[in-house]
Amino acid sequence: MKSALVCGAGGFIGSHLVKELKRQGFWVRGVDLKYPQFAETAADDFIIGDLRDPYVCRAAIDRKFDEVYQLAADMGGAGYIFTGENDADIMHNSALINLNMLEACHKRNIKRVFYSSSACMYPAYNQEDPDNPKTHEDSAYPAAPDSEYGWEKLFSERLYLAFNRNHGMECRVARYHNIFGPEGTWEGGKEKAPAALCRKIAEAEPGSEIEMWGDGKQTRSFLYIDQCIKGTILLTRSDFEGPVNIGSEEMVTINDLARMIMDIAAKPLGIRHIPGPVGVRGRNSHNELIRKRLGWAPDEPLAEGLRRTYPWIAAQVERKRGRNARAAA
């Protein structure tokens, strides 16, 4: 039986990845500070531990694994990474996790390690035009990410590739572009735009307004979780080390995104634009490289993923309303 270790298995992408690896017949160990928030883990074994501690990393790798997926990170959406208030934690926590995990894998002679970098590592100067952002893999330098989160990702992807060159490892590096779907963070400050807007629309009274940070003309692309998992596993098992984008090429404005969700919810609402952390003006995935090297690229329309995500978030909102009403009674 093949085996896999998933670091960050209590998080959004990690918990979905564990499910898929189990579906494929793997024995799976998860590690995280916490269990998944919205469903039981599908992992065979789950270690609650802090991967900033090198001894926890070594203990998690007390056996051989065919595949290791390193997704653990201190991360969040624009409201977490662009305010500046979390910069020291983000850099310190995530860098320690990556340094420790890679060292532990190397010591145990584990070769195949997947690392989840981010589109946030691309230079801000190529993402000023909302209609024509540039995120080709070879456009990373001169480096100028717009957040410390992006700088840490850039450092860590270089670290994984250096271990390939100097220690004969076979790490694989992907640059994810804004992943969304059910069982992702939808409130609390770390949620990203798709979840935040689904929540606001679900909470809004008919005929009222939702608040949106910025003028709504900033652009992004959003990738549904199943496509992210497919690309992650394909890359990990391929002969290509990356870095490679895993993202959607369907670029929309944040206003468009909100309107798509309102259509799905059948709830036409106004939009009030307010100041907030906005990040780069435009971002989209470029998928020529993934198509060429993996013979595959994400192709699912955004609306399909939103149709699966909105009802899940609306149900969370309803559940919370029920809890609050019972508490007030």
Q: Which of 233, 242, 231 is nearest to 296 (CA)?
A: 231
Instruction: Scan residues 83-112 and list those touching ligand NAD (CB under 6 A).
Output: 93, 97
Judged by CB under 6 A, does residue 146 bind ligand NAD? no
Q: Which residue, 60 or 133, has its beta carbon nearer to ligand GDD?
A: 133
176 carries an active-site annotation:
no
Judged by CB under 6 A, does residue 81 bind ligand GDD? yes
CB of 275 to ligand NAD, least distance (A): 23
> Quick one: how far is CA 122 from the chain centroid?
15
Judged by CB under 6 A, does residue 183 bind ligand NAD? no
- Cα gap 313→302, rounded to integer Å: 16
The angle subtended at Cα 301 by Cα 135 and Cα 173, nearest 5°, is: 40
Nearest position to ligand GDD, beta carbon: 77
Q: Are 133 and 75 in contact (CB under 8 A)?
A: no
- In the list 24, 33, 209, 322, the residue contacting ligand NAD (rule: CB under 6 A) is 33
**Six token digits for residue 329:** 């009674």
36-75 footprint of ligand NAD as x/- string (CB under 6 A)? --------------xxx------------------xxxxx
Q: Which residue, 117 or 126, has its beta carbon nearer to ligand NAD?
A: 117
- Find where tokens 């480096």 sit: 143
Write the CB contacts of 172 (distance below 8 Å, at least 6 apart in sequence): 112, 113, 114, 115, 235, 236, 238, 240, 241, 242
SS (H, E, C) 126-159: HCCCCCCCCCCHHHCCCCCCCCHHHHHHHHHHHH
Judged by CB under 6 A, does residue 113 bind ligand NAD? no
Instruction: Scan residues 272-311 and list those touching ligand GDD (CB under 6 A).
Output: 276-279
- Cα gap 259→267, rounded to integer Å: 9
CB of 92 to ligand GDD, least distance (A): 17
- In the list 116, 227, 232, 236, the residue contacting ligand NAD (rule: CB under 6 A) is 116
The binder of 74, among ligand GDD, ligand NAD, none, by C-beta within 5 to 8 A per type, is: ligand NAD
Instruction: Scan residues 187-206 and list those touching ligand NAD (CB under 6 A).
Output: 192
| Residue from 69, 115, 122, 149 carrying the catalytic annotation | 149
Q: Which residue, 191 or 267, has its beta carbon nearer to ligand NAD?
A: 191
CB of 245 to ligand NAD, least distance (A): 10
Judged by CB under 6 A, does residue 70 bind ligand GDD? no
- In the list 7, 60, 193, 234, the residue contacting ligand GDD (rule: CB under 6 A) is 193
- Write out the catalytic residue numbers: 149
The residues that touch ligand GDD, with contacts defined as CB under 6 A, are 75, 77-79, 81, 118-120, 176-178, 191-193, 196, 212-214, 218, 220, 254, 276-279
